[in-house]
């Protein structure tokens, strides 16, 4: 008998991320054995993920587990996992909108829901956040389209436009749009005091001003990675709020206990800068500049869930993100975020009654493409060793 265990899998690019997508029925039923199998499939923990399918980057160390839903308001259940490069952990606390853009095409391809031309609406129940995402998938000849004329910054070329509608996305993890009950507050850290807005929409995100970190806000990932004090500061701020929402007992434990949630982002007003590809992002083409962290490293583009939360925060009067917008931008439903890879636009429908803030919907567009269908071979020895480490 072979010591390699086969698992059916598909590999998809979803937005600016890439990952393995499994059918839930093909994975071990035991959550612990399932996670160790996934870790072994990715080659984690190992910074290079050389003995697995991971791409040695947080954006390519993501995965989805899909099942046909038994809920009347959903077609499929989608469980997102962020596979750590450095620890034997799959983090299910939050979600990923980029990978969410791939699960609709996967479900249609696998016959889990019927294809309807020209657009199939796939109702996705995200088990991580207990929220519904409706994906509008272009379909042709019974299959999801991958070719098209729509482009997203951070991905070369063009593809078919997939619209993701995040319904009632407020309180995705904490149950509250404003988890601490405050639009803004000050947090004290060993690195200084910082003004913070903490918002939970699609994913909870801690927002801090770039200027308070001694930054312009337009820095690119390589420059941020070369500043270890900055990375420690941002992680401590993030860890402080991980403690506030009960994900760990101290800020120092956050990277091990809850490495992906909450997220932390620093923002600055719209300004002209050069992105990672050498293109000029013009001040007049964006409403805000944002830099988001992903698994303790700078995101090379911008997470979809982070964009949903940023767009939401931008429409909450008095928040740090709101302060960054021009008066004209405050009146618009769209928010155009300038990030290291270019521009990401999100549409937000929010109602501010004066007594409460109600988020009705937030939406944006992505592209996705199936890269491979096949079998991933997992070392039984690796799974056993990870089980023993627990």
What is the CATH superfamily name and number for domain 4-161+368-389?
Answer: Diaminopimelate Epimerase; Chain A, domain 1 (3.10.310.10)
Rounded distance, CA 337 to CA 343, Å?
Answer: 6
Taking only the tens place, the pLDDT of each residue in 261-295 is 999 999 999 999 999 999 999 999 999 999 999 88
* Token pair belonging to 247: 């994900």
Give the pLDDT score at 349.
85
Distances in whole angstroms, Cα of residue 98 to Cα of each of 12, 93, 121, 187, 305: 10, 16, 17, 31, 8
Nearest to 296 by CA among 340, 235, 213: 235
Residue count (the chain): 390
Position 52 pLDDT exceeds 90: yes
Nearest to 369 by CA among 121, 144, 142, 94: 144
Sketch the domain layout of the chain as residue ranges: 4-161+368-389, 185-346
* Token pair belonging to 87: 């620890």
Quote the DSSP letter at residue 111. T
Taking only the tens place, the pLDDT of each residue in 302-349 is 999 999 999 999 999 999 999 999 888 898 889 999 999 999 999 988
DSSP line for 158-201: -B--EEEEEET-BTTTTSSSSTTS-S-EEEEETTEEEEEEEEEE
Taking phi first (over 0 means left), then psi (-120 to 50 degrees means alpha), and beta for anything else, what does residue 276 get? Answer: alpha
Q: Which fold has domain 185-346?
A: Diaminopimelate Epimerase; Chain A, domain 1 (3.10.310)
Quote the DSSP letter at residue 238. H
For residue 243, the surrounding DSSP H or E stretch is helix 228-244
Taking only the tens place, the pLDDT of each residue in 106-154 is 999 999 999 999 999 999 999 999 999 999 999 999 999 999 999 999 8
Nearest to 341 by CA among 151, 154, 98: 154
Give the pLDDT score at 361.
79
Q: Which residues of 343-366 are buried (b: 16+ CB within 10 A; e: fewer)?
A: bbbbbbebeeeeeebebeebbbbb
Q: Do domains 4-161+368-389 and 185-346 have the same CATH topology?
A: yes
Share of the chain above pLDDT 90, in %: 87
Rounded distance, CA 103 to CA 93, Å?
Answer: 18
Backbone angles phi, psi at 312, to 5 degrees: -65, -50
SS3 235: helix
pTM of the model: 0.86
User: What average pLDDT does the segment 163-185 reach?
Assistant: 92
Rounded distance, CA 27 to CA 231, Å?
Answer: 36
Nearest to 152 by CA among 311, 274, 313, 14: 14
Rounded distance, CA 152 to CA 165, Å?
Answer: 17
C-alpha dihedral sign at 167, 299, 158, 367: negative
């Amino acid at each position: 008998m072979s010591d390699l265990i086969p698992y059916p899998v598909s590999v998809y690019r979803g937005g600016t991320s890439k990952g393995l997508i499994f059918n839930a029925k093909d994975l071990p039923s035991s959550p612990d054995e399932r996670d160790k199998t996934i870790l072994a499939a990715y080659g984690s923990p190992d910074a290079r993920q050389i003995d697995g399918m991971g791409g040695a980057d947080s954006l390519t160390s993501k995965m989805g587990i899909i099942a046909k839903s038994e809920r009347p308001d959903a077609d499929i259940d989608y469980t997102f996992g962020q596979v750590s490069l450095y620890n034997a952990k799959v983090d299910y606390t939050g979600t990923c909108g980029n990978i969410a853009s791939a699960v609709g095409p996967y479900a249609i391809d696998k016959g889990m829901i019927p294809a309807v031309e020209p657009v199939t609406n796939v109702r996705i129940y995200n088990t991580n956040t207990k929220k519904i995402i409706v994906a509008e998938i272009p379909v042709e000849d019974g299959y999801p389209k991958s070719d098209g004329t729509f482009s997203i910054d951070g991905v070369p070329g063009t593809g078919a436009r997939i619209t993701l509608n995040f319904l009632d996305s407020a309180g995705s993890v904490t149950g509250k749009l404003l988890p601490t009950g405050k639009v803004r507050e000050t947090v004290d850290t060993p690195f200084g005091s910082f003004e913070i807005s903490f918002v939970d929409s699609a994913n909870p995100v801690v927002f801090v001003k770039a200027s308070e970190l001694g930054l312009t806000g337009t820095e690119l990932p390589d420059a941020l990675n070369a500043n270890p004090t900055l990375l420690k500061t941002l992680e401590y701020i993030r860890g402080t709020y991980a403690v506030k929402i009960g994900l760990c007992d101290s800020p120092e434990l956050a990277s091990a206990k809850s490495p992906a949630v909450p997220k932390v982002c620093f923002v600055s007003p719209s300004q002209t800068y050069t992105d990672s590809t050498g293109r000029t992002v013009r001040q007049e083409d964006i409403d805000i500049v944002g830099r988001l962290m992903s698994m303790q490293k700078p995101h090379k583009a911008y997470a979809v869930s982070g964009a949903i939360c940023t767009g939401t925060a931008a429409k909450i009067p008095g928040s740090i993100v709101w302060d960054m917008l021009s008066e004209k931008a405050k009146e618009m439903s769209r928010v155009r975020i300038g990030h290291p890879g270019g521009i990401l636009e999100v549409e937000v429908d929010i109602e501010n009654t004066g007594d409460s803030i109600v988020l009705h919907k937030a939406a944006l567009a992505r592209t996705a493409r199936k890269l491979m269908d096949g079998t991933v071979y997992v070392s039984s020895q690796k799974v056993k060793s990870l089980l023993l480490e627990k």
